[in-house]
Amino acid sequence: MRLTACLLIPAIGVVAPSPATAQEPVAPSATQALTLAEAVATAREYNPLLRQTANNLGSTTWGVRNAYAAFLPTVNTSLGFGYRGTGSQTFLTSTFEQPSSTVGSSYNLGLSLFLSGRTLMQPGLATAQHHAAQAALSGAEINLESVVRQQYLGVLQAEAQVNLAEVQVTRNDEFLRLAQARYDVGQNTLLDVRQAEVAKGQSEVALLQARQAVTVAKLRLFQTMGIPAPDPATVVLTDTFPVIEPMWKLDELLAEADQDNPDLISLRASASAARAGERAAKSEWLPSLSLSAGWSGYTQQYQDVGPLITNARASAAASVAQCEFVNENLVNPGGVTADCSSLAFTPADEQALRDQNKVFPFDFTSQPFSASLGISIPIFTQFSRPLRISQASAAADDATESVRARQLQVRTDVSQAYYALQAAYEAIGIQERNQVAAAEQLRLATERYRVGSGTFFELLDAQLASQRAEADYINAIYTYHWSIATLENAVGRPLR
């Protein structure tokens, strides 16, 4: 049996917002048509939960860069300025005088590099974590698409119920006129008229409830899409979904689900990251290497150079006096005497001293270059390393078991959805025959009541049976579509 029934139900639509309005998407103000593809595209761009998942991907990207950058040295630089006032300072029994306040500056440029077993394993761990985040995002996109598809079908089903409720109102209105006409000619009682009025009122209430259900379904659809919901009356869904015989094979679906199911892919990526974490924990047994190098310099300038000149002049005078004493008392007669005038403190010396003092803030005196290299081999760490390795191994084993458990769950979900789809397809044919039979029953009951050979209660029973059969047929069709959506969600990709 091959059914080609197609639900020609109006569909609600809205133009997908542009990236420029990502923060404040605008709902349509006039009637718009929304296809399923547009609803999915809008949800991928604006759904808050999906955007939160996408935000997590940025940190893992920098995590990979940081892991590889660990093989490059860290560069630190500093520049400082200082001031020290005049006064004295006592250290033990010695007192140091500071005749003039000073200002100074200093700089430092340092390189450092630290390598360990964890450093070597970190790129693999960070890459695995990044892949896990990518898999989580892909899985969230697929799951969101499935939710949007199901809610889209929910709106169409609610609109089909509105169409059915409108038919019931029209039908009950005809029954009321028929009962009133028969009452006017004396062929029935006022009881039939009142019963027809009650039936019409009940169908009008059912129509109001069905329209409310459509409004709620549209609001939920737009909430999932991540944009403000417009007036439901302005949105029309345009996609239709034909009913065709399912031709998929269970073995092929199971194989596809094992490769494409988003949750399974995400768990496998997480398990790979857990194994990388286990290897990183084991690498703590390897030695660590540290390397550092630095350049530095300083300046110190007296704000009052007078004491320096006084001290230099006194020192030079002492040197001249000592030189003259030697010439006069210690040099043999006729011997060569020293030129003591060369030791005198001249104005040129004073100016040179003043020039030498002008170093603040950037005329640095460089310090000698320094470098160091060290190797560390931890021998006993109070069992902290075995503890971390055990915890990482347990986490990796748990992740592997989670993958296996999810594989079993996916097989069950796919098989269950597959068999449910087969049953739903067969149920459509049965409900279609029931609908035809109930419609014929209602036609016969109407004719019997029209000619006076049947009662109004028989007519109401036939109407109720026809209404139930029509509702069951609609539900059977959408149960079929829901079954396909469930199967697509379990497999991890659209099947039509």
Q: What is the pLDDT of residue 31?
A: 52
Q: Where are the alpha helices (DSSP H) in 20-98?
A: 36-46, 48-69
User: How many angstroms separate the CA atoms of 483 and 80, rounded?
Assistant: 72
Strand partners, 30: none
3-state secondary structure of 86: coil
User: How many angstroms separate the CA atoms of 477 and 473, rounded?
Assistant: 6
Q: Which long-range contacts (CB under 8 A, 24 or more apart) does 94-99 make?
A: 99/304, 99/307
Cα separations in angstroms, 319 against 87, 314, 343, 352, 418: 28, 9, 6, 19, 110
Give the confidence band of 80 by pLDDT, cuts at 50, 70, 90: very high
pLDDT digits (tens, 9 = 90+) for 302-357: 888 888 888 888 888 888 888 888 877 777 676 777 888 888 888 888 888 888 88
Give the containing element (helix H, strand E) for 240: none
Judged against a pLDDT cut of 70, whether residue 415 lies above it is answered with yes
Cβ pair 462, 175 in contact under 8 A = no
Q: What is the mean pLDDT of residues 13-30?
A: 42
pLDDT digits (tens, 9 = 90+) for 272-308: 888 888 888 888 888 888 999 999 998 988 888 888 8
How many CB atoms are located within 10 Å of the residue 30 CB?
7
Task: Catalogue all structural domains in the chain, each as residue range(s) with its CATH number.
Answer: 19-72+113-283+367-491 (1.20.1600.10)
Q: Which long-range contacts (CB under 8 A, 24 or more apart) does 324-332 make?
A: none
Cβ pair 125, 435 in contact under 8 A = no
Mean pLDDT of the chain: 84
Q: What is the pLDDT of residue 400?
A: 92
Give the confidence band of 384 by pLDDT, cuts at 50, 70, 90: confident
Enter the DSSP assignment of 67.
H
- DSSP for 259-302? HH-HHHHHHHHHHHHHHHHHHHHHGGGS-EEEEEEEEEEEEEEE
Strand partners, 6: 242
Judged against a pLDDT cut of 70, whether residue 141 lies above it is answered with yes
Strand partners, 149: none
Q: Which long-range contacts (CB under 8 A, 24 or more apart) does 441-449 make?
A: 441/465, 441/466, 442/466, 446/175, 446/178, 449/178, 449/182
Give the confidence band of 148 by pLDDT, cuts at 50, 70, 90: very high
The proportion of the chain whose per-residue pLDDT surpasses 90, expressed as a percent, equals 28
- Give phi and psi for 33, each to the nearest 5: -105, 130
pTM tops 0.85, yes or no: no
Q: What is the pLDDT of residue 19?
A: 38
Give the containing element (helix H, strand E) for 82: strand 74-84
